[in-house]
Each structure stands twice: as structure tokens, then as C-alpha cells.
Amino acid sequence: MTHSRYNLSNVNKAIQNPSLFLEEMERLSKPKNINKILNKILFEKDYGDQANVMAEDWDNLIILDGFRYDYFEQYNTIDGELSRITSQGSHSTEFLEKTFVGRQFHDTVYITANPHAPRLVDDDVFYLMESVYDADRETAAREHYPEQVIEMALPVIEGYPNKRHIIHMMQPNVPFLGPTAEKIRERLYSEEGVTFVNMEPSDVPESFSPREELGTIKEACEKGYISEVSLREAYRENVKIALEYAQQLLDEIEGKTAITADHGEMLGERVPPLYYKQYSHERHIYTDELRHVPWLVIDSDERREIYSEDPLQDSQLADDTVKDRLEKLGYLDYV
């Protein structure tokens, strides 16, 4: 079932509290939201058939979150056959709902850093779903780091050799990990008293009360703290980081692999038809920057024998087995 703002539960809440109707009408009447509604009505048909990545032939699917096609085409260094596809969504939740929710892939293991996946994807969709995301506010951003995903993925891939594997990393989406992003966070803290959720500089004292706490560097640009040039440089560095970790993963796994993205990103481009500037990815928006994503296929002579089984509730790999495999692969150094 597709998750929607307009469902029976919310309608019942609004009936019991009519002020919710007025709040929703006020929200929809804002120019930016009017633009979003018109954008969906006018441009949805222009994007035609949207890719069904689960119907494609692969042993491993690496999803790099928020990776625009144009940046991938420019900066990719991984050998393979590249094409452009249209994503199922302009936001992770939309992609997950249209690609996974309500379906069964009992021949597939899903390893993810995306925080929306545990909430949206039920246990019976995949043979096994492993999430590195921890909702604990103090550690959540760190668990988005690509090395954490690789640390979890490698022993799982080895432990379930007769399954397809999806590895969903959060880069080049936030958090931005490159030197430009780090300098931005340090400068805004020292000069503006501004910090970022879970990404404060290491020298921030516990007693410090920020003038403003931002969610992302994209928000810093939207509020005028940094330029679009700086934002795009921070994104470009995250793109290169994502590709480096994708290559690391490729070097350790066997089988035919595809690399793609769940959606793209807006870095200050304007959304038609009213052409409001957009610094993020939101649901149900139709622009090339958000909907066009890469599809890179890396062929292999070694293919897995894949079969379906009843889904597991939890990984059956023992902790000591996982540690041993990571140590042999040299990935314990990342912790």
C-alpha cells in the first residue's frame, strides 16, 4: 500500500479536529506548494516509463543515494556500460514505495543505510533486510558513512551466496563528507554560531548553544549562509567519495553488478512551471536533475546461482564470523 498524506487515518483525524483542514489548505496555498502541484500535473507524463530496477538482470545492485545522472556521467571512473534511466521517484520514500513496498523479492538481500527503509519496507519483502541506520540521534549521521555499509555488506554477501544483493549507500546524498563540507561546517560554527545536526565540529563544547542548528549544507545554502558554488563543490566531492566506495565494493564482490540511484538532487536549479529555486529533493517533483539517474552495468563471467527461500527475520551470521571475515578483508580498520 502506498503511503500518502491523504489516507483514511488522517481524514478521520481531520474530522475530529476540523482545524487540520484549514492548516492543510493554508499549506497547499503557499506558492511553492502550488508550483509543486502544477509541476506534477504538467510534467508527469513527460517522463514516460519509469525504470523497474528489480526486473533487470544483475547479481548485485549498488544504489548511490541522490546521485544525479549528469554528475555521474562527468565524474564516473568505473568501467561499464552507462545509460540514463528515469527513477521511480524524486525522493527515497517515493522510490522505496514504488519499487519495494507490497512486493516480494525472496531471492534478494537488501543492505541499506537509508533511514526510510526500516520504516517503509516490511520484513517479508526481502529474504533479508539489514539496516546500518540507528535512529539514535547521537549516532545516526555517522551510520550513514559508506564504510559502515561496506563493513556490513561484505560478510552478508559472502554469507548468502545464492541471493541477489542490493547495497544502498547514502552518498552522494547527505551527510556531505568532503573537505569543502567540513570547512563550511567549521566556518559557520566559528563565524556564525551555526551548527549541523549530528555533524558539529569536534571542538564544540557541550555547553554551547547554537544560534541556529541546520539539518544539511543544502539548507545552509537555501538560507544564504553559503553560495551555490560552495554547495555544488561539496556535492561534487561527495560524488567522488561515493564512486570511490562503490569501486572498493566492486573489487570485493563477484557477479554481474549494476550501479544506480534512487533519485537525483536539486542544487539551486528552478522547478517549472513557476520556476522556484530548489535545494533538495522532494516527493512528486519532475525535473531532469531529480528524475534522471545513472544505470551502469558491470558484466562478469562469474554469475551466482540464485534461488528464493522463505525470508529470514534476522541475519544468521554469527558476530564472530562477521568479525573474522571483515578482518581478513581489511575492513576493521574503518571502524
Q: Where are the domains of the chain?
A: 19-173+256-334
CB 290 within 8 A of CB 101: no
N-to-C CA span, the chain? 38
**Residue 250: which H helix or E strand, with range?**
helix 228-252
All three cell numbers of 212, joined, read 541556529
Q: Which residues of 141-163 are buried (b: 16+ CB within 10 A; e: fewer)?
A: bebbbbebbbbbbbbbbbbbeeb
CB 293 within 8 A of CB 82: no
**Residue 258: which H helix or E strand, with range?**
strand 257-260
CB 151 within 8 A of CB 319: no
Q: Residue 137: is its pLDDT beyond 50?
A: no
pLDDT tens-place string over residues 56-68: 999 999 999 999 9
CB 77 within 8 A of CB 252: no
- State the Cα–Cα distance between residues 45 and 30, nearest whole angstrom: 24
Task: Tell me whether residue 34 is exposed, middle or buried, using C-beta atoms within 10 angstroms of its C-beta: 0 to 12, 13 to 18, 19 or more.
Answer: middle
pTM to 2 decimal places = 0.85
Longest Cα–Cα distance in the chain: 62
Q: Please, what is the average pLDDT of the chain?
A: 87
At residue 2, the pLDDT reads 39
DSSP secondary structure, 223-239, as one string:
TTSS-HHHHHHHHHHHH
- State the Cα–Cα distance between residues 238 and 172, nearest whole angstrom: 5
Strand-pair category, 292-298 with 126-131: unpaired
Q: CB-based contacts of 151: which residues, under 8 Å, 6+ apart?
A: 326, 331, 332, 334, 335
pLDDT tens-place string over residues 239-267: 999 999 999 999 999 999 999 999 999 99
pLDDT tens-place string over residues 26-75: 555 577 888 988 999 999 889 888 999 999 999 999 999 999 999 999 99
At residue 322, the pLDDT reads 47
Strand-pair category, 81-86 with 194-196: unpaired
